[in-house]
Structure 1
Amino acid sequence: MLSAHRRTVTPPAPSPAQRGIQSIEVGGQLLRALAHAGRPLPLKDLAAAAGMAAAKAHPYLVSFGKIGLVEQDRASGRYGLGPLALQLGLMSLQQADPVRIATPLIEDLASASGHTVAIAVWGTHGPTIVRLAESPAAVHINMRHGTVFSITGTASGQLFAAWLGDAAKPLYEAERRAAGARSLPSWAQFVAGTLAEVRAQGLARADGGVVAGVSALAAPVLDHRGQIMLALTAIGPSAALDTRWDGPLAALLRQAGQAASARLGWQPATSAPTS
């Protein structure tokens, strides 16, 4: 007589690196909702924003309140982030290194776009390359660390000028004098024309402005105050590099810039550059 035996297969236990505590992840939705709201919220609204019932949210908020992650206003009953959350946020901002955060992004951008991608920071003499990811394509643009971009004719320069405003004026005026005052617009004209377009688009572009046949498109990385920390700049042959504001390269750069900015505490509401 044959008998069949059912064998129960137990799935492998998750590795220590994968194992988490579900209740912490659930409660974290409330903290994320508060951070996204940017203001204290009533229990009902906070729970809804976190995708849970108020009765479920309340015990988490009580525990978070005991350790200082949230606090409840006695007068209004609204919940906001507490002193521990503030301390953690300040510590995170102090430890954040914009260049370190952006460096892995330019490798991905170079691979995805097929163009050389640089990180430029604002230096004594203007935007300066500090990191470079070479294009995977056969055609390379000869750039190197320490290269300084002009303000007048490069995407990186225009991007910094748009966000820095009058802080960039002295370098612009020096470039204008060197080139001959009549060959470049006045600072006021530059602000009202080129920089106004950069502010409106959130990107800067240059089509063969400095080196014939070479174009560039640049996106800013902003800190929690909305101030520019660095530029992510794609550089390539003008015939191959798409500088359209709504092109696929622009979308890649915007996405990367926003991802790095978010790591530095930036939120879209604080992103508008000041003149």
Structure 2
Amino acid sequence: MRGLEEIGSHGGLSIPLSHGLDSTLTDGDSGPKFYDWLFECHGFWHNTALIVASLLFVVYLALQARQSFSKLLHGRSYIMISYYGCLWLVSLLNLAWCSLQAWECTPGKELAWNVLSLFTTSGMLFLEVSLLAFLLKGNHASGSQALTRTFVVSGLIVGLDILLKAIYLFGFGIPLFIDTNDNTHNMKWNLWVVHRLVLTAVYGFILYMYNSKWRERLPARPAFYKYTAIMFLLNGLALLACGITGNGAGFGFWLYSATIVCYHAFYLPLIYITFLADFFQEEDLNLENVYYSEMKDAGFFDADWE
């Protein structure tokens, strides 16, 4: 190699022997990018669980889309049509959020990550609030006025939530959605404590009603009770995690990350099973018998025999 360099220098030529190595590194830039996208930031298992779960649910919705559209057109339920459209939109947002986890740890992507996180979490909160309103009004309420009232109330609640989070993000510069080893922002964790406390209290109150004399005012569907119990447990764990993370406990940060993975990976399939699955799978003439059987199994008619 020294001989080649000497020949090049004597002949007035400069032979860049390292060009091949540089080009190899340049051509392989996609390798480090892929590694950072999948393995860095929160780690391989965290990113894989989110991506796989969200992608599988979107694929399932796509495979069922033709049958679902036909059912929606024949059913003519404004609530079901609107909720199904919202579910599709939020599922795509959630898939993007799960797939772009590397943005959270990439310099220069903080704004894009915060905006994406704000819209994704707000969309999921809108589904969560409107689901409670829909089920409390009856699973097949199809009037346009009922739909309008439900969406207006849900939209106002979510709008206030977006405004508060936007003030924290862009007004005070508090990184609400950047959770990489972050337990120093007390205002951030205080906000999440209040947020989870409200949700836990709501689900806890509904569970109390199910086990009290007022349970007849709630929908007589065991699926709704199971959904409420699951969300009460998840929000309770998240509340505990936010509280101890704000005090500097490392276990709290791990628990909080676990609840975030569970929420973004499994919440959308859960509300589909709770709210939409029966509508798409059962025939209209059999729905009344199905719900009567569920009410009987849940013990709602036991009082008639006493």
Query: What TM-score bracket applies, with the shorter chain setting the length?
Result: under 0.3
More contact order relative to length (CA 8 Å, sep ≥ 6): 2
Q: TM-score, normalised by structure 2?
A: 0.21
Higher strand share: 1
